[in-house]
């Protein structure tokens, strides 16, 4: 502690003239925002990161905050809808966004916080068996499970080799070259091997091995599936996956709490060393001492929100550098389950196009939605963009042609229901989740994560450890909330051994030599080595 604590609330009410650790004393600001709602912390977005940030503030006795959310619900990309009909004519609930709890936890080891929440709210979820898979090509069932095993062998070696690069802070490469060095070299015309690779890499990263970082892609997978556990549970709850986010929100928000503003589209963010003023499409505005922007990388890349002043070059470079992938689930309901009803996954190798309707998933299985006769197929990124520009009818025709090839012995009728989201066009997401591009250093990621004056950034994409995942959003929301709470209490966080209050490190010039983060645990949650947990 550098400076004596000021009485918090009175200091905040007095135009936030609180003394920060750096000795900087913000002045009372000119009154052009007099009609704006005043608050201490504005949280932009009510997804996992936003709600967790608000809860972290609440837990630290900061109750003066406002959450601004575009949609009429919270939950963000944990997003479900109704689909098809059950025997009584009632629709099923299916997840358009996040669907698995990935890496649960092991006895005595760290636990994925999303798993903790799933247990707390009795979220209906079941073991997803990645070994329950049958393989197909354009001639029907054809067993290439040996290729699946072969991939796994090379993958284990690749993970070891990526670990060395990570540990010694060496030059990154593409996942393509990293895997080739580990002995996995699928020929371009070996469509079975291409399908197996897609199932293992693209299906998770939403990008090809050519575009993905070898080191951080592998480390991310390791931190989720080795650190927590290698289990994936599939969420199939009639309340939707977002029930855990609703549940946590209800721990600190009252019914109709005025601090949660739904249906509020932010259009402009004015930030400075003194605070942040936010303007919304409905003409309302919020004037805050600090703000946390939890918008997806897609929203930032699409310039859907204007920043004033323009974000600094180091920040804009990072925003443009990382990749926003799209992951599209295409749902079909039939009047019977004509596929093997105990199997979870069906992998299809198209004879000409890699990634053409490759992974099929049955919901009709015993533990999921038994007898629902629902199956869905997933495509990502380039194939997603292609089908997002097609009508449902055009896509349905392609999808049906594939499934008829997979089961040539069956007489397959048209589906009774058909639906898919177009994530790239969703104005509050512009894509599904981020991916770490090849040859991109931790410095660049620190720049994505760093604050610009009093404007903080948090969300799935700002997690170096768990980018892409719901738990990444959880940790990042929590850390941002904790940091701002500490600042407001005039506490300092220790960054790289120095008390640098109020700023996350950023690099004006990228040299690519950031010291490696250690994935330390502090109170059960990972913190980077920038934060000295012992202080
Ligand atoms: C198809 C798909 C599949 C996925 N599968 C999994 C999975 O199986 N497991 C897993 O762990 N993760 C999965 N994810 C990723 C997971 O959903 C995200 O990592 C997580 O939900 C991100 O949370 P967040 O708070 O960072 O961002 P978001 O959930 O995007 O929250 C940001 C919020 O900001 C709001 N917002 C945006 N623009 C504005 C604006 N202008 N004004 C006001 N509000 C705005 C949005 O409406 C949103 O609620 C998947 C995602 C998708 C899309
Ligand atoms: C807030 O505190 C509650 C109760 O201790 C805890 O369950 C929750 O995980 C905390 N949340 C955050 C984001 O710190
Ligand atoms: C997963 O599926 C495989 C293949 O069908 C099966 O052998 C295995 O027992 C299943 N595992 C579990 C836990 O159900
Ligand atoms: C992944 O985890 C294994 C086992 O803990 C470790 O040996 C390897 O170095 C790790 N690799 C990466 C890239 O993190
Ligand atoms: C599809 O599988 C069949 C049976 O294994 C095989 O004869 C055929 O060559 C495969 N097609 C391609 C494009 O590999
Ligand atoms: C699968 O099909 C068999 C045989 O028709 C049937 O006995 C079983 O109940 C079905 N299982 C599910 C989960 O639908
Ligand atoms: C596909 O793109 C074209 C050209 O941009 C556009 O005119 C058309 O409406 C799009 N179709 C769909 C279904 O989105």
Q: What is the CATH number of the domain that holds 303?
A: 3.50.50.60
On whether both 331 and 373 belong to a single domain, the answer is yes
Q: Closest Cα to atom 14, ligand 3: which residue?
A: 129
Question: 522 in helix, strand or coil?
Answer: strand
CB atoms within 10 A of CB 285: 16
User: Over 50: is that where the pLDDT of 304 sits?
Assistant: yes
Q: Which of 385, 388, 389, 391 to mutate to test the pocket of ligand 7 (most atoms within 8 A of CB)?
A: 389
On whether both 221 and 248 belong to a single domain, the answer is no
On whether both 175 and 208 belong to a single domain, the answer is yes
The answer to whether 77 touches 98, Cβ cutoff 8 Å, is: yes
Ligand 6 contact, 336 CB (< 6 A): no
57 falls within a domain: yes
On whether both 39 and 182 belong to a single domain, the answer is no
Full DSSP string of 1-64: --SPPPPHHHHHHTTT-PPPTT---PPPPPGGGTTSEEEEEEEE--SHHHHHHHHHHHHTT---
Residue 168's pLDDT band (cuts 50, 70, 90): confident
| Residue-wise pLDDT tens digits, 427-480 | 999 999 999 999 898 889 999 999 999 999 999 999 998 999 999 999 999 999
Instruction: Specify the ligand 2 atom closest to the Cα of 53.
Output: 13
Instruction: Specify the ligand 6 atom closest to the Cα of 337.
Output: 14
530 falls within a domain: no
- Structure-block tokens of residue 187: 């020929």
Residue at token pair 């197996």: 196
On whether both 342 and 416 belong to a single domain, the answer is yes
| Residue-wise pLDDT tens digits, 114-124 | 999 999 999 99
Q: Is the pTM of this model over 0.85?
A: yes
448 falls within a domain: yes
On whether both 329 and 318 belong to a single domain, the answer is no
Residue 492's pLDDT band (cuts 50, 70, 90): low
User: Over 70: is that where the pLDDT of 363 sits?
Assistant: yes
Cα(125) to ligand 5 centroid in Å equals 36
On whether both 254 and 311 belong to a single domain, the answer is yes
- The pLDDT, as a whole number, for residue 170 is 84
Range of the domain at 303: 10-75+242-322+432-493
On whether both 198 and 246 belong to a single domain, the answer is no
- How many domains does the chain fold into? 3
User: Over 60: is that where the pLDDT of 535 sits?
Assistant: no
Cα(143) to ligand 7 centroid in Å equals 39
CB atoms within 10 A of CB 61: 11
User: Over 70: is that where the pLDDT of 128 sits?
Assistant: yes
User: Over 50: is that where the pLDDT of 148 sits?
Assistant: yes
Ligand 6 contact, 371 CB (< 6 A): yes
Chain-centroid distance, C-alpha 118:
17
User: Over 70: is that where the pLDDT of 2 sits?
Assistant: no
On whether both 411 and 448 belong to a single domain, the answer is no
Ligand 1 contact, 102 CB (< 6 A): yes
| Residue-wise pLDDT tens digits, 466-477 | 999 999 999 999
On whether both 376 and 346 belong to a single domain, the answer is yes
The answer to whether 205 touches 435, Cβ cutoff 8 Å, is: yes
Q: In what order do the strands lie in the sheet with 232-235?
A: 100-102, 232-235, 125-127
506 falls within a domain: no
- The pLDDT, as a whole number, for residue 100 is 98
Mean pLDDT for the stretch of residues 289-295: 98
Residue 498's pLDDT band (cuts 50, 70, 90): low
On whether both 301 and 314 belong to a single domain, the answer is yes
Q: What is the CATH number of the domain that holds 340?
A: 3.90.660.10
Residue 490's pLDDT band (cuts 50, 70, 90): confident
Mean pLDDT for the stretch of residues 2-24: 29
- The pLDDT, as a whole number, for residue 519 is 47
Most confident region among 11-15, 28-32, 165-169 by mean pLDDT: 165-169
498 falls within a domain: no
User: Over 60: is that where the pLDDT of 154 sits?
Assistant: yes
User: Over 90: is that where the pLDDT of 313 sits?
Assistant: yes
Mean pLDDT for the stretch of residues 480-489: 90
User: Over 60: is that where the pLDDT of 209 sits?
Assistant: yes
């Amino acid at each position: 502690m550098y400076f004596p604590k000021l009485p918090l609330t009175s200091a905040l009410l007095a135009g936030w003239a609180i003394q920060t650790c750096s000795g900087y004393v913000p002045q009372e600001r000119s009154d052009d925002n007099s009609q704006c709602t005043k608050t201490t912390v504005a949280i932009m977005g009510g997804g996992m990161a936003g709600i967790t940030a608000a809860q972290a503030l609440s837990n630290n006795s900061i109750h003066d905050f406002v959450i601004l959310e575009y949609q009429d619900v919270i939950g963000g990309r944990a997003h479900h809808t109704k689909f098809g009909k059950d025997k009584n004519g009632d629709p099923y609930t299916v997840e358009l966004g996040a669907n698995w709890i990935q890496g649960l936890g092991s006895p005595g080891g760290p636990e994925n916080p999303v798993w903790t929440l799933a247990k707390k709210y009795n979220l209906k979820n079941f073991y997803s068996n990645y070994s329950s898979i049958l393989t197909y090509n354009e001639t029907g069932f054809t067993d290439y499970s040996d290729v699946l095993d072969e991939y796994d062998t090379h993958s284990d070696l690749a993970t070891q080799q990526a670990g060395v690069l990570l540990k010694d802070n060496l030059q990154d490469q593409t996942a393509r070259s990293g895997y080739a060095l580990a002995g996995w070299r699928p020929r371009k015309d070996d469509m079975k091997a291409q399908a197996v690779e897609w199932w293992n890499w693209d299906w998770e990263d939403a990008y090809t091995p050519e575009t993905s970082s070898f080191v951080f892609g592998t480390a991310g997978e390791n931190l989720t599936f080795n650190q927590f556990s290698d289990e994936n549970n599939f969420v199939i709850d009639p309340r939707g996956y977002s029930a855990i986010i609703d549940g946590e929100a209800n721990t600190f928000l009252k019914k109709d709490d005025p601090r949660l503003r739904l249906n509020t589209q932010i259009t402009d963010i004015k930030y400075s060393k003194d605070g942040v003023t936010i303007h919304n499409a409905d003409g309302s505005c919020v004037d805050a001492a600090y703000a946390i922007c939890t918008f997806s990388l897609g929203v930032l890349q699409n310039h859907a929100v204007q920043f004033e002043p323009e974000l600094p070059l180091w920040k804009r470079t990072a925003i443009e550098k990382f990749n926003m992938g799209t992951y599209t689930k295409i749902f079909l309901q039939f009047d019977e389950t004509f596929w093997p009803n105990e199997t979870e996954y069906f992998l299809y190798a198209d004879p000409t196009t890699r990634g053409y309707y490759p992974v099929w998933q049955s919901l009709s299985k015993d533990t999921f939605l038994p007898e629902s006769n629902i199956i869905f197929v997933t495509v990502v990124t380039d194939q997603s963009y292609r089908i997002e520009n097609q009508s449902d009818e055009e896509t349905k025709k392609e999808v049906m042609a594939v499934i008829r090839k997979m089961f040539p012995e069956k007489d397959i009728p048209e589906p009774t229901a058909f639906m898919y989201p177009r994530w790239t066009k969703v104005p509050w997401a512009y894509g599904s989740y981020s991916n770490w591009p090849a040859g991109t250093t931790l410095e660049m990621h620190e720049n994505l994560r760093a604050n610009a004056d009093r404007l903080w950034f948090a969300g799935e994409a700002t997690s170096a450890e768990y980018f892409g995942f719901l738990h990444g959003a959880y940790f990042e929301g929590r850390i941002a909330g904790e940091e701002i709470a500490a600042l407001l209490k005039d506490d300092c966080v220790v960054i790289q051994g120095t008390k640098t209050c109020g700023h996350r490190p950023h690099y004006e010039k990228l040299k690519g030599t950031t010291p490696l983060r250690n994935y330390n645990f502090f109170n059960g949650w990972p913190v980077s080595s920038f934060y000295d947990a012992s202080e």
